[in-house]
Amino acid sequence: MAKKTVRDIDLRNKRVLCRVDFNVPLKDGKITDDTRIRAALPTIEYIMEQQGSSLILMSHLGRPKGKVNPDLSLKPVAVRLTELLGREVKIAPDCIGEKAESMAAELSGAGGVLLLENLRFHKAETDNDSEFARNLASLGDVYVNDAFGTAHRAHASTEGVAHHLPGVAGFLMEKEIRFIGGLLEHPEKPFVAIIGGAKVSTKIAVLESLLSRATELLIAGGMAYTFLKVRGTRIGNSLVEEDFLTTAGSLLEKAESMGVNVLLPVDHLVGSSFAENIEARAVDDVNIPDDSIGMDIGPRTIDLFKSAISKARNLIWNGPMGVFEFSAFDRGTLEIARSVAECQGITVVGGGDSVAAVNKFNLAAKIDHVSTGGGASLEFLEGKELPGIAALS
């Protein structure tokens, strides 16, 4: 899965067309979290350091659905990037057309940085229209993709452009491929996979992919109750996907036949209803009372999971242990996050909620790799070939 990176191509005196993920949260026209912008800085700064090179950045923001929406303009991003780089970042009024072409041409040899306006103001972007991709490609001499978060989409800027320009990975993309791809291709054992989240239906492909690689699967979150019900456990009013009971049962059988140890919750924190202000009650048993909803793993489950985590040489975590958004039910996710941070093996956290959890608890710096892609990291773990990666040299 090794891909060429910006280190492997001569960028001197080139106009570099770089796909980044600047899909940042905005409130009243202001950026509320610039993490994604900062994550792209190593690649941006490396390109700018190359003699005579100039940089054209392209990204989407939100879901304008092919129509111009001033509220989703990348202008605030250009302002923030100017502050972070200490040099002006100009923004083109569109991502294609005469003005974008002339502004890109003016950069040549000047070491300038240009940000194209929101790609998704054009439906042709998500349609991966070949003419639109060709127009984007005409702005640069080489193509760099550093937007792992969109690598699972075959869009014009993530896949189509690579048919017209030599394409390589940026440093962020390289890191994602190295860590997540490395876990899938040659994991060191014991390899522990912690999979949480609400539904089996969204994670079953990941679980099946990991069966042939992991030594232990730790399953929690709302999805665990479907597996517990299959085992004959009483789950009260907890979330269950009746349509996936057979699938869950088959996975447990397959895991046993392959020698993969599956750990499920053995105790719980429950509530009387799914609400933030309800009282958390401990259930020191695998069975949940009929009038209760499982909301988090209990202390014995935490200890069970932490014991497995402490022995891991490789570890992947995707999905919270419970309803960690509610403070009364965040302990399970917090304790597992701390345990992952303390693990001496290689640790990778992927998926939006898991990333949100390690950020909430200020533990991201202690994780070897925190993935920048939600859906992309999920599909990568499923073993799928991501179009944005496949298109690179």
What angle, 0 to 180 degrees and rounded to 10, lies between the N-to-C axes of helices 35-49 and 75-85? 60
Tokens 């939600």 identify what position?
374
Residue among 75, 134, 178, 199 flagged as catalytic: 199
Element spanning 340, H or E: helix 331-342
374 as an active site residue: the answer is no
From residue 19, alpha-carbon distances to 24, 73, 160, 240, 381 in Å are 15, 16, 12, 40, 22
Residue 81 in tokens:
């990037």
Contact assessment for residue 99 and residue 92, using Cβ atoms and an 8 Å cutoff: yes
Work out whether the CA dihedral 124, 129, 135, 139 comes out positive or negative: positive
Element spanning 118, H or E: none
Write the burial class of residue 129 (CB in 10 Å: 0-12 exposed, 13-18 middle, 19+ buried).
middle
Element spanning 154, H or E: none
316 bridge partner residues: 193, 348
375 as an active site residue: the answer is yes
Contact assessment for residue 15 and residue 141, using Cβ atoms and an 8 Å cutoff: yes
Residue among 3, 14, 15, 36 flagged as catalytic: 36
Upper half-sphere CA count for residue 33 (Cβ side, 13 Å): 10
- Measured from the Cβ of residue 229, the count of other Cβ atoms closer than 10 Å reads 18
199 as an active site residue: the answer is yes
Residue among 4, 352, 383, 384 flagged as catalytic: 352
294 as an active site residue: the answer is no
Q: Which amino acid is at 295?
A: M
Residue among 181, 249, 375, 383 flagged as catalytic: 375
**Could you give the residue numbers annotated as active site?**
36, 199, 352, 375
